[in-house]
Structure 1
Amino acid sequence: MKLSAEARALQDRLGHTFRKPELLARALTHPSIASATRPSNQRLEFLGDRVLNLVIAEALFLHDRLADEGQLAPRYNVLVRKETCADVARQIDLGSALKLGRSEMMSGGRRKNALLGDAMEAVLAAIYLDGGLDAAKPIVLRLWGDRIEVADDQARDAKTALQEWAQARGMQPPRYIQTARSGPDHAPMFAICAKLENGAQETASAGSKRQAEQAAAQALLLRLESGESA
């Protein structure tokens, strides 16, 4: 299979030459342009999320051998969330290689966090299927590199920072609303929505309510600060 010029350029930026280029082509195919003969990247996104989770969890475990689970979990949430995946995608200009339907292109799909984050995970899955963990792991560590070093700073008490942000603008403190719970009793997953009185909100999931609240607060802070700097 022959890749597009944009996909070949992305392949160079990734630092991985695909033995099966059809894997990369599928990872770059958004559902808006998929068909029976051109499958979307959604299944790859599912796998890539798990590949990223494993590599990042191991990297954090080895990076700080004295940190306990309560310290590692918020750092992990910062590094694997959709917004971070989207930032990495922008770093390598993944958006330029995406295959989108006309409606997505017209609505600025190449810049959307959710779309870029999903595609980044799909690309990681494609690398994993093409070359195994030995190929995927060094690419994740290189692309996420500096973020691993500063994850502790980014994860530290986002709830306090969000409350200070709201109070500085005359707003009431944010509310945290549990929107879902899944998984067995011994390994639950909580979805928490952090919401401000102006309607701004973000949702995140984690293995405890406290971790999910911190992750949701951090996601909302990032969006708010990005909006202010735009």
Structure 2
Amino acid sequence: MVFRHPLGPDRSKPVTGLDRATREWLEVQGFAVRDEAPWLEALTHGSFNGAGGGATDYQRLEFLGDRVLGLAVASWLYRAGDAPEGRLSQRLNALVSGATCARIARRIGLPAHIRLGKQARDDGGADSEKILGDVMEALIGACFIENGFDAAQSAVYRLWARELEGDLGKAKHPKSALQEWAAGNRRQMPQYEVIDRSGPDHAARFTVRVSIRNVGEAEATASSKSAAEKLAAKAFLERFG
């Protein structure tokens, strides 16, 4: 079933069309563009509206695309073998993470096509892991709206092929590994603390410290709290494990 993109009251302003380079890029990625409105929305950051762009940003399509991506990947993992639920969840979380979405976005050249306000672009928004991950999900949402689930699922399998066929998510998550290490060595459980946050909201940087009493501590910085915790746990294991 194909869903048509709804035009609500907030879309009364004229929508600027996709430029030719962006439309061609979308088609090269395998996205069939008929109605340009959802694709424009998927590529538009909130700062673009603030600069007078007059278009709806990607947040609603990101919400939808996140669910479509999760279902598509979960379906692939279920059919790919007989792994137990815990391992399926571990791989799913890695495959649909913001970091994975952002990595794929960079690989296909998405940064050049995101519509950003001048300040956000000057602040590095086009290379923000958060923005890239969100827009990648929004494009999947737009594909679902335009062409239905089967087309969106096919797009996910094509764009995520390297990750699906590889080892992403098969290794134990560093936080789980650290927790097991602490339990196995009769130590207290790891404690995580955000010790610094810097940068604008769309390009924030978090520094996290993980510590285990009477063992030591390690720190790491990343674009999200969860990513910084993961890196800190990995650093702790490399230093003390």
Give the drift of 1:14.
1.8
* 2:31 paired with 1:16: yes
Q: 1:13 to 1:5 in 2, by over 3 A?
A: same
The letter of the residue matching 2:174 is A
Give the drift of 1:158.
2.4
Deviations 1:6-51 (Å, cap 9, x if unpaired)?
3213212321221111111110000001269411111111000000
The letter of the residue matching 2:146 is D
Of the structure 1 ranges 10-19 and 100-109, higher mean CA displacement relative to structure 2 is found in: 10-19
The letter of the residue matching 1:106 is D
Q: 1:61·1:72 contact (CA, 8 Å) conserved in 2?
A: yes
Q: 1:198 to 1:26 in 2, by over 3 A?
A: same
Q: 1:31 to 1:153 in 2, by over 3 A?
A: closer
Q: For this pair of structures, how many residues does the alignment match?
A: 189
Of the structure 1 ranges 32-41 and 79-88, higher mean CA displacement relative to structure 2 is found in: 32-41
Give the distance between the partners of 2:131 and 2:116, measured in 1 at CA.
10
* 2:124 paired with 1:103: no
Give the drift of 1:108.
1.1
The letter of the residue matching 2:56 is P
Q: 2:95·2:169 contact (CA, 8 Å) conserved in 1?
A: no
Q: 1:25 to 1:46 in 2, by over 3 A?
A: same
Give the distance between the partners of 1:223 and 1:159, measured in 2 at CA.
8
Q: 1:149 to 1:174 in 2, by over 3 A?
A: farther
Where structure 1 has 5 or more consecutive residues not aligned to the other structure, the ranges are: 164-172, 178-192, 205-214, 225-230
Q: Name the structure 2 match of 1:183.
A: none
For residue 200 of structure 1, give the secondary structure of its aligned residue in structure 2: strand
For residue 9 of structure 1, give the secondary structure of its aligned residue in structure 2: helix
Give the drift of 1:159.
3.3
Give the distance between the partners of 2:93 and 2:37, measured in 1 at CA.
31
Which of 67, 70, 76 is equivalent to 1:50? Answer: 67
The letter of the residue matching 1:95 is P
Q: 1:51·1:124 contact (CA, 8 Å) conserved in 2?
A: yes
Q: Give the TM-score normalised by the residue count of structure 2.
A: 0.68
Which of 137, 159, 164 is equivalent to 2:175? Answer: 159
- Structure 1 or 2: larger helix share? 1
Where structure 2 has 5 or more consecutive residues not aligned to the other structure, the ranges are: 1-15, 180-188, 194-206, 211-217, 236-241
For residue 160 of structure 2, give the secondary structure of its aligned residue in structure 1: helix
The letter of the residue matching 1:31 is G
Of the structure 1 ranges 146-155 and 97-106, higher mean CA displacement relative to structure 2 is found in: 146-155
Which of 178, 200, 209 is equivalent to 2:221? Answer: 200
Give the distance between the partners of 2:138 and 2:166, measured in 1 at CA.
25
Give the distance between the partners of 1:160 and 1:53, measured in 2 at CA.
22
Q: Give the TM-score normalised by the residue count of structure 1.
A: 0.71
Q: Within 5 Å, give how 1:1-230 maps onto structure 2.
A: 2-34=17-49, 37-64=54-81, 66-151=82-167, 154-159=170-175, 175-176=191-192, 195-196=209-210, 197-198=218-219, 200=221, 202-204=224-226, 218=230, 220=231
Over the aligned positions, Cα root-mean-square deviation in angstroms equals: 3.1
Of the structure 1 ranges 89-98 and 152-161, higher mean CA displacement relative to structure 2 is found in: 152-161
Percent identical pairs in the alignment equals 36
The letter of the residue matching 2:29 is L
